[in-house]
Amino acid sequence: MSSGTDHHQQIDSRSPEVRTEALEDLLVEKGIVDRSRVDALIDRFENDLGPMVGARLVAKAWISSEFRERLLADADEVLATEDIQGAEMEHIEVKANEPGVHNVVVCTLCSCYPWALLGLPPNWYKSPEYRARVVREPRKVLSEMGLSLDAETEVRVWDSSSETRFLVLPEQPEGTGHLGLEELAHLVTRDSMIGVTKAQAP
């Protein structure tokens, strides 16, 4: 685990989070912005724009077993070839769900996350509760988040750090073999690539 200084910062009054919240409060108070529009904008970045980069990689891996093998063997090489780059993307590993194995990602120390693949991390990913509990009782946390896994399924929890970030390759939903790349990519939610849900059925 890293003791790097670039990402394990304590929240203080100078942190971007605190300053941004203060700025938002002020703009709302002055009637310059509407909080619901700010929330809608954040939601769009969290759920629509950002995760589509990761979702297209997953869809490609569903379509091509050769691409899937490359992605699992050396994601960095694939990302370089696809010209996908961004902050906090030094080393990415992709973990595939399969019958009997379910993967879920956390950062126990802070909130390391593959930004360039998934966009903004959701608030729950950064919460102390998720970070502590998903390691201790992953099955229970997943079930509370709506994903019930049978007792035979092994749950693998991957702890991100500044050195290594993870992306879950969810299983392709049944009966979607005829769909094209973009249609498949829209079944791949952000949460399914963190590993707290499955990919959606069409």
Closest to Fe ion by CB, 78 vs 92, is 92
For 164, other C-beta atoms within 10 Å of its C-beta total 14
Query: What's the CA dihedral at 13, 128, 126, 194 to 10 degrees?
Result: 170
Q: How far is the CB of 28 from Fe ion (least distance, A)?
A: 30
Which of 181, 198, 192 shows the shortest CA–CA distance to 67? 181
Among 3, 110, 127, 192, which one carries the catalytic annotation?
110
Catalytic site includes residue 111: yes
**Strand 154-159 with 92-96, pairing:** unpaired
Task: Check if 107 is active-site.
Answer: yes
Pick the closer one to Fe ion by CB: 112 or 185: 112
Q: Which of 13, 64, 112, 160 is catalytic?
A: 112
Q: Which of 2, 65, 111, 192 is catalytic?
A: 111
Nearest residue (beta carbon) to Fe ion: 112
Least distance to Fe ion, CB of residue 95, Å = 17
Residue 171, amino acid? E
Tell me if residue 110 is catalytic.
yes
Identify the CA nearest to 157 among candidates 134, 141, 128, 129: 134
* Chosen residue from 112, 118, 142, 169 binding Fe ion by CB under 5 A: 112
Q: How many positions of this chain bind Fe ion (CB under 5 A)? A: 4
Q: Cβ(76)–Cβ(167) under 8 Å?
A: no
Residue 110, interface with Fe ion (CB under 5 A)?
A: yes
94 — phi, psi (to 5°)?
A: -105, 130
**Which residues, numbered 22-61, are part of the site for Fe ion (CB under 5 A)?**
none
Q: Which of 55, 57, 71, 107 binds Fe ion (CB under 5 A)?
A: 107
E strand spans, the chain:
92-96, 101-106, 154-159, 165-169
Window of 56-64, 109-117, 140-148, 180-188 that interacts with Fe ion by CB under 5 A: 109-117
The residues of the shown chain that bind Fe ion, judged by CB under 5 A, are: 107, 109-110, 112
Active-site residues, by number, are 107, 110-112
